[in-house]
Structure 1
Amino acid sequence: MAKARDTYMVIGGCGFLGHHIVQQLLARGDSVCIFDLVQRHFDVPFYSGDITNVDDVSSALRKSGTSCIIHTASPPAGLKNEALYYKVNVEGTKSVIAAAVSTGVRKLVFTSSAGVVFNGADLINVDERLPYPEVPLDAYNDSKAKAEEVVLEANGKDGLLTVALRPAGIFGPGDRQVMAGMYQVYERNQTHFQIGDNTNLFDFTYVGNVAKAHLLAADKLDIPPPAPPLCDTREDALLAEDVPPFTSEEEKLISAPLPFVAATTGKHRIPTSEARPLGPYVELPPNGREIEAAFNDPNEELSGRPAIRTRFDQFSGVSLVMAKLRNTQINPLQVAGQAFFITNGEPCYFWDFARMIWHQLDAHFPGHRKRRDVFKLSKDIGLIAASGAELYGKLVGKEPAFTRFKVSFSCATRWHNIEKARRILDYEPDVGLDEGVQRMVQWCSLMGSIYIPKRIPKKSEPGERHNHHSTPSVFLTPPNTTSQPSIPMDDDPAWFPPQTRSYILSFQFSNWYPIFLKHTIKSTIIRPVPAGFQEYLTSDGIFVPEGAEDNPSDSQLSDDSDDLAETTITYSDANSDFRVKHWAFPDLDQRIRNCIEEYEGIFPKLNFSSPKDAYWVLFNANPLRCTSPSDVYILLKSSDFATHDTDTKNVFSGCIDLAPDEEPPNYELELILRKWYPIERNREVRCFVRNRRLIGISQRDMNYYEFLAEEQTKTKILASVSKFWETEIKDKWDVKDYTIDFLLTRELTKGHIIDFNPYSPRTDSLLFTYKELHSIAQDSHAVPEFRVIPSADHPAAMSNIPVFQHNMVPLEALTLSAGRTVSELEEALKEQIQESMQNGVTHDGKAA
């Protein structure tokens, strides 16, 4: 009888690792859905919720019919908020397990971390028998270890089968941590620096290999073990001699020859380093020359040999017997109830990996890197320098970027034995380090995510724009892209009111806000903006003015379940020869801080546009909530939507020409700071008004929401919105044609105005077409129509890839500058880069 296929839910499926897992599931034709905060990558069923809320997870599991959960969501390593780790990793995982049990889910694959056994000491070919450290290294790894324990303890209870995977040093396309720091060093031409002697082997793992391991674990999770656990044979088996002899299946599993990992990934050669098959040594072993000759011989056979074991080996008879005695409920050769290290099987010298990346970058930027001898800083000297940096950080009240932990980390040996995964999961890494690095750098290049700024000439030609980068332009928005939709060629001008400049200006915030002050979010209008502010917004590069930086808020969630974010060390740029234009707006900074204090968080916009296309750039838990002036600047600077308002050509694009004697209306840039308000997308609608008639209402978000499709709900919303428009808007504004974005309360009886937009081709008509709206407007007897996505199968359902998705390159790797030189900004930059993430928590602080 054929085995039933699973339906998968990937928790954190829009993150780095989760993305690749969903891709591989889709590629093999599986049914898959995602549980996360915002869907960014896939046109698959999507559920938004809080993993610490059992009801949220249970509801998604029931609706999707999930039979197998792959749980990848976690905050990244290196955050200050230790409580967040335990809330999300431990309590969140408990909620996932409880929801799985209550809904009858059969399988749970948990993404743990190789760091759960790391206590700062060297790890040399360690296997899964190594216990958790008595004194945890940090809150991240401790919370991961506790979550892993919870997962494994849940195995076999209430029909749930569980397994935990421990990846180490994940990298690859979509990476938002490793590439950022490595590129930063490269861009500054500092690749000749090295801490330690580079004899410490380190595990790095290609993300596609990690995703493959998750699918293998899910597939094999419910396969019976090669022999029954002791509890199924003898309840009184307490001594080694009482353990039954190994079955033929067990013997085959533990003794079958395994091919060298090099057979699948290619011989381990680092393009920029000496190939060292013997590893670090002081004296060459007696057969060392023969080993090196064989390594360099392209004709050398790499045939597998039967395993020869000692009593200390994890698959020796003694070790397996002891494993059976320690846990009589589990056969040590089964998948369920166990943890597995997942790596590339190619431990690499720590700095060799960085040089692999820099070597690949050379192909994209020939001639950029100067050839220099390696400058080696010993670990001891590095620790002394880091101690000074930490002391300085305490004195100035900032977290240092260069710490003793990071020095120790970059000099530590950390590599793991993956024989257990290879034998029991049939795991073999498909992509080696060399190819993986090539793919990662190539992906960054295709995404427009790597860029070397040109030197700024001393004098610019009139009208010429130059890059004013005070920091590396890592992960910039691709050039020559625009987020504003162009006017469709088949739209009939008769469908719209005359698109005059005066008409467009009536929709700038300062014109409508005073009229509807009581019915919208409290806001502060700053007009005029400081001198130079508009030039700053339109200058190339993404950086913040001097004095704008405050302590960053907590980072958001990711699925990057390892601590590789701590590995990259950067240095001051004493030889920087880039001219940097300094920006500073101290008065504006203070006004922003005052608003933040009054409103407890703000969201910025300009005259017309909000920087919603840059929601993923901030490092805090609520992606559009600003808690410092730097947050405001970085949102505006990263947005195509907002900078649209800085150019009158864009503002008045599509307007009818001025009469020969007509003076263009005055247009002045304004900055609006709105009180932060958590908008639940499923209660936001867009209303269309033509000739003072409300003719159409559309749900604003293009996800399918079951409650919206209910007739009772639709009737209630239509009545509430119509009543509000009739009583609070219709006769209080002299504009006849417009659209309104309106947010309903939870009771769906009241609401408030989010924004007004022109009735224009530039405004998205959502579930209508303007031709349909025109027909409704022509019918004097027509009543307003409310349109929603009626089912998950509707053509518009889940097609919620926003028009600004091209901007969603990894700006979590973005460096933050204060308009100073790179040397002056080193510490702030490093902290921000390491705290960057894509997935997050919901707007009320709950984990997604």
Structure 2
Amino acid sequence: MPGDEKWCVVTGGRGFAARHLVQMLIRYDVFLVRIADLGSTVDLEPSEENGILAEALSSGRAQYVSLDLRSKSQVLQVFQGAEVVFHMAAPNSSINNYKLHHSVNVEGTQNVIDACTELKVKRLIYTSSPSVVFDGIHGIVDGDESLPYPPKHNDFYSATKAQGEELVIKANGVKGLLTCCIRPSSIFGPGDRLLVPSLVVAARAGKSKYIIGDGNNIYDFTYVENVAHAHICAERALASEGTVADKAAGQAYFITNMEPIKFWEFVSLILEGLGYERPRIKIPAFVVMPIAHMVELTYKLLGPYGMKVPQLTPSRIRLLSCTRSFKCSKAQDRIGYTPIVSLQDGLKRTIEAYPHLRAEHRSKRGGPSKASIYLGSGRVADTLLWKDKKQTFKALFVLIAIYYSFIVPGSTIITMLSRVLLVASVFVFIHAVLPEKILGYKIEKLQSSHFHLSEETSQQIAKSVASSWNASVKTLKSLGQGDDGILFLKVALTLLVLSFLGVFSLQNLYVIGVPAAFIVFYVYEKEEQKIDDMVLEALSRGCKLKSDIVKKFCTSKKID
């Protein structure tokens, strides 16, 4: 690059796929690379300290800058002198927060576009997602770019990504800016902090043996280096003159490894490669969905108190049980994309990149206990597992006070609610009149925002109720057809359990349930292996019993 410094910017440059793109751009040796991300400084990982990135940063071939896309002034400053922008920044897709995703994926993307047009940036490549055409209900088989955006998306991440994509495509041609969008499907590879680590956590918690759905749903995965390669293919196509650039610009492209595979087979290959067992027990998605809605609701209530983002959410259940495969013929034709790493090689490289997560390297405890993981590994877990004894005794005191104040007197629902509201009113009033400091201790004043129920939360609660109701109606419809004996047995068993629980009074349930919560999880943490072995044995016998019942049922039906 003698005498001609051409800069490119990679937003979200410390993200998973972006790191691979940065390294590929450095090797590509056409641009100086400006890595933009939220962190105030770049913290290199041990594997990067002696690699190509560290060398490029020290030589000036690459530079790191702190950037918040929500600040247009920062974006303008970072984009100065850039010829190309690879816009890869996005919040964590598992956090279903509309305000967060809209501020980055929509408002931040508009800031990126405005900065590109004002500073006469020549090319903008936007990293989108196949989820922009997924409604969370209907599977996609060999989908192409003619698929429209659905009326309703699976989550806020997908919805705002679609809005950002629309903005980028609309901006094509404005003041000479050429744009296109890349939709990489299910990225995997070395450096991934979501897919492989979450699979290992599930395996160590004994949850990897379950298959959500029938296990036959097809997926298109994309090795991370192929994703980086697709971005460079897009940039080169836009940089070409004449019809090549005209055909490539203003378009969206699905990017995959072009090797569709059953989703659960792919998961099995990773788990087996790391020394864990394959998933084998199938659970229908409609059975798990109500639980997922409850988990999501629990997270919304307890998230502010330290509960981590759960893996079992409604949007994730839909993703795990649907088919999602896409064609890459348009990307092949218009930007010249072809995978450079096969699925088999990609899986091999991925497995080799996680030696510390292999089953044989697992410590006796293997990190957090399963009980802690089940409880969210936050303050709730610390309380029920007696790790924060002060918090545990405080919770017990409150629960005992509730028991003697509301349960023992045999209150009706109305009198119980009135007493709760009376106690809350007295507490709020006294708390309000207390001075800001007592004996040197600062009194945190309650804000109205602590009690405010946002429109978003209200809608989510309503959706959860509606989804559970629809699942129940679907179950009743299936029962009404009279051809699903297994479903009948499951429903009957569930109702029998509920009728058994109905025998107990509220007082008895409270007396049994509350102490059990503080004892059962604690005991499970101490005797994890023994209990797991007993459960696996019971599941094995249950599966055998289920198989025998199905065979007898099918035989009797044939005779009839």
The TM-score bracket by the shorter chain reads: 0.5 to 0.7
Asked whether the equivalents of residues 9 and 66 of structure 1 are also in contact (C-alpha less than 8 Å), the reply is: yes
RMSD: 3.7
Asked whether the equivalents of residues 122 and 413 of structure 1 are also in contact (C-alpha less than 8 Å), the reply is: yes
User: 1:106: Cα distance to partner?
Assistant: 0.6
Matched, 1:105 2:121: yes
Asked whether the equivalents of residues 153 and 159 of structure 2 are also in contact (C-alpha less than 8 Å), the reply is: yes
Asked whether the equivalents of residues 201 and 348 of structure 1 are also in contact (C-alpha less than 8 Å), the reply is: yes
Give the letter for the 1:337 counterpart.
Answer: G
1:174-218 deviations in whole A, cap 9, x for unaligned?
101111221123324554322222221111111110000001111
Once residues 443 and 196 of structure 2 are traced to their aligned partners in structure 1, the CA distance between those partners, rounded to angstroms, is 36
Give the direction of change, closer, same or farther, for the CA distance of 1:821–1:92 in structure 2 (3 Å limit): farther
Matched, 1:88 2:1: no
Pick aligned residue for 1:40 from 20, 40, 43: 43
Give the letter for the 2:369 counterpart.
Answer: S
1:374-425 deviations in whole A, cap 9, x for unaligned?
2222x2xx31243145347758955875344433322211100100111211
User: 1:123: Cα distance to partner?
Assistant: 0.6
User: 1:433: Cα distance to partner?
Assistant: 2.0
Matching of residues 432-831 of structure 1 within 5 Å = 432-445=342-355, 452-455=361-364, 469-471=368-370, 548=382, 583-586=387-390, 598=444, 821=524
Helix, strand or coil for the counterpart of 1:68?
Answer: strand
Helix, strand or coil for the counterpart of 2:82?
Answer: coil
Asked whether the equivalents of residues 154 and 315 of structure 2 are also in contact (C-alpha less than 8 Å), the reply is: no
Once residues 222 and 119 of structure 1 are traced to their aligned partners in structure 2, the CA distance between those partners, rounded to angstroms, is 34
Helix, strand or coil for the counterpart of 1:45?
Answer: strand
User: 1:437: Cα distance to partner?
Assistant: 2.0
Asked whether the equivalents of residues 471 and 543 of structure 1 are also in contact (C-alpha less than 8 Å), the reply is: no
1:572-613 deviations in whole A, cap 9, x for unaligned?
xxxxxxxxx85233259989xx9998499xxxxxxxxxxxxx
* Unpaired stretches in structure 1, ≥5 consecutive residues: 228-329, 363-368, 457-466, 475-541, 551-580, 601-817, 826-848
1:699-745 deviations in whole A, cap 9, x for unaligned?
xxxxxxxxxxxxxxxxxxxxxxxxxxxxxxxxxxxxxxxxxxxxxxx
Pick aligned residue for 2:262 from 313, 336, 349: 349
Q: TM-score, normalised by structure 2?
A: 0.61
Once residues 371 and 360 of structure 2 are traced to their aligned partners in structure 1, the CA distance between those partners, rounded to angstroms, is 8
1:82-127 deviations in whole A, cap 9, x for unaligned?
1111110011011011111111211101001111101121111111
| 2:282 aligned residue | 376
Asked whether the equivalents of residues 341 and 421 of structure 1 are also in contact (C-alpha less than 8 Å), the reply is: yes
Once residues 36 and 290 of structure 2 are traced to their aligned partners in structure 1, the CA distance between those partners, rounded to angstroms, is 42
Asked whether the equivalents of residues 20 and 228 of structure 2 are also in contact (C-alpha less than 8 Å), the reply is: yes
Matched, 1:221 2:242: no
Once residues 430 and 596 of structure 1 are traced to their aligned partners in structure 2, the CA distance between those partners, rounded to angstroms, is 60
Once residues 451 and 417 of structure 1 are traced to their aligned partners in structure 2, the CA distance between those partners, rounded to angstroms, is 39
Give the direction of change, closer, same or farther, for the CA distance of 1:823–1:208 in structure 2 (3 Å limit): farther
Give the direction of change, closer, same or farther, for the CA distance of 1:546–1:385 in structure 2 (3 Å limit): closer
Give the letter for the 1:56 counterpart.
Answer: Q
| 2:131 aligned residue | 115
1:139-184 deviations in whole A, cap 9, x for unaligned?
1111111101100111111111111101110111110111122112
Matching of residues 168-187 of structure 1 within 5 Å = 168-187=185-204
Once residues 527 and 160 of structure 2 are traced to their aligned partners in structure 1, the CA distance between those partners, rounded to angstroms, is 35
Asked whether the equivalents of residues 383 and 391 of structure 2 are also in contact (C-alpha less than 8 Å), the reply is: no
Matching of residues 275-424 of structure 1 within 5 Å = 334-362=247-275, 369=276, 374-377=280-283, 379=284, 382-388=285-291, 390-391=293-294, 397=301, 401-424=311-334
| 2:14 aligned residue | 14
* Unpaired stretches in structure 2, ≥5 consecutive residues: 45-52, 304-309, 396-436, 447-520, 529-560
**Structure with bigger gyration radius:** 1
Give the direction of change, closer, same or farther, for the CA distance of 1:587–1:118 in structure 2 (3 Å limit): closer
Asked whether the equivalents of residues 470 and 819 of structure 1 are also in contact (C-alpha less than 8 Å), the reply is: no
Give the direction of change, closer, same or farther, for the CA distance of 1:146–1:57 in structure 2 (3 Å limit): same
Give the letter for the 1:53 counterpart.
Answer: S
Give the letter for the 2:67 counterpart.
Answer: G
Once residues 824 and 73 of structure 1 are traced to their aligned partners in structure 2, the CA distance between those partners, rounded to angstroms, is 44
| 2:26 aligned residue | 26
More helix by share: 2
Indicate the percent of aligned positions where both proteins have the same amino acid: 31
Q: TM-score, normalised by structure 1?
A: 0.41
User: 1:69: Cα distance to partner?
Assistant: 0.3
Helix, strand or coil for the counterpart of 1:144?
Answer: helix
Once residues 163 and 179 of structure 2 are traced to their aligned partners in structure 1, the CA distance between those partners, rounded to angstroms, is 15
Give the letter for the 1:374 counterpart.
Answer: R
User: 1:336: Cα distance to partner?
Assistant: 0.9
Once residues 218 and 596 of structure 1 are traced to their aligned partners in structure 2, the CA distance between those partners, rounded to angstroms, is 56
Give the aligned length: 380
Once residues 442 and 188 of structure 2 are traced to their aligned partners in structure 1, the CA distance between those partners, rounded to angstroms, is 37
Once residues 405 and 107 of structure 1 are traced to their aligned partners in structure 2, the CA distance between those partners, rounded to angstroms, is 34
| 2:74 aligned residue | 56
Once residues 445 and 350 of structure 2 are traced to their aligned partners in structure 1, the CA distance between those partners, rounded to angstroms, is 41
Asked whether the equivalents of residues 356 and 434 of structure 1 are also in contact (C-alpha less than 8 Å), the reply is: no
